[in-house]
A and B are shown apart, each in its own frame.
Chain A
Amino acid sequence: AQSVTQLDSHVSVSEGTPVLLRCNYSSSYSPSLFWYVQHPNKGLQLLLKYTSAATLVKGINGFEAEFKKSETSFHLTKPSAHMSDAAEYFCVVRGSGTASKLTFGTGTRLQVTL
């Protein structure tokens, strides 16, 4: 079985300040982990993914995430928020036992203020 918990349903930051979106996972197998972003009225776009290579993963638009097995976490960070980062962010886990089945978190809405 696998699950993912996004610890914050809503995060608000000021433009130019760091972003931290938290995600904890549970998986019986070595997981693949993903972060997707969804802008209003758009589909989901892949930000980055971890697939058992380097634990620090760099994605698009300056985002990165670190896989920490001991903490079962895969938090998403960005050094400096931009207004265009305002969107919904989904942490996703996929265990090797059920090949293509993705388990999605409930999402974190990021608000960026001036």
Chain B
Amino acid sequence: ETGVTQTPRHLVMGMTNKKSLKCEQHLGHNAMYWYKQSAKKPLELMFVYSLEERVENNSVPSRFSPECPNSSHLFLHLHTLQPEDSALYLCASSPEYSSVTDTQYFGPGTRLTVL
């Protein structure tokens, strides 16, 4: 179905916990993305990596910390989150960051609930 996988699929955490979301793409793409999808709001782009280098950080609070150790893997480290951070976190990849016409391929998402 899709070459982008995300784990875990569901996560419940307290505000003082530290957890990480993992994304892996098997498509040979060079660009990877984190999005936040909240109810009744458009998808929000959080971070973009191109060839393991962060190229976009869209005013995301420091309690979200991304990491891209190689072009196939992307992590989102979470600490001291707030209840309003509860959302579906989607990972995506595309062949190149700079191509206007490239399609982004999405993973199934991690449903995060912060208590």
**Using a CB–CB distance below 8 Å, which chain A residues touch chain B?**
32, 34, 36, 41-46, 49, 51, 90, 94, 96, 99-107
Contacts and interface: CB of A to CB of B under 8 A. Distances in A.
A106 B108 contact: no
Contacts of B43: 90, 102, 104
B42 A100 contact: no
A32 B100 contact: yes
Contacts of B98: 99-100
A96 to B, nearest CB: 5
A107 B104 CA distance: 17
A99 B99 contact: yes
A23 to B, nearest CB: 13
7 cross-chain pairs, A with B, having the tightest CB-CB distances, nearest first: A43-B106, A44-B106, A104-B43, A51-B101, A43-B108, A104-B42, A99-B98
A112 B97 CA distance: 37
Interface of B: 2, 4, 6, 31, 40-43, 45, 48, 56, 90, 92, 94, 97-109, 111
Contact of A100 (B41, B97, B107): B97
A45 B31 contact: no
A100 B31 contact: yes
Contacts, number: 57
A101 B47 CA distance: 11
A68 to B, nearest CB: 19
B100 A99 contact: yes
A36 B92 CA distance: 13
A45 B94 contact: no
Nearest to A29: B100
Contacts of B106: 36, 43-45
Nearest to A41: B108
26 contacts: A32-B101, A34-B103, A41-B108, A42-B109, A43-B2, A43-B90, A43-B107, A44-B90, A44-B92, A44-B106, A45-B2, A45-B106, A46-B105, A49-B101, A51-B100, A51-B101, A96-B100, A100-B31, A100-B48, A100-B99, A101-B56, A102-B104, A103-B42, A104-B43, A105-B42, A107-B42
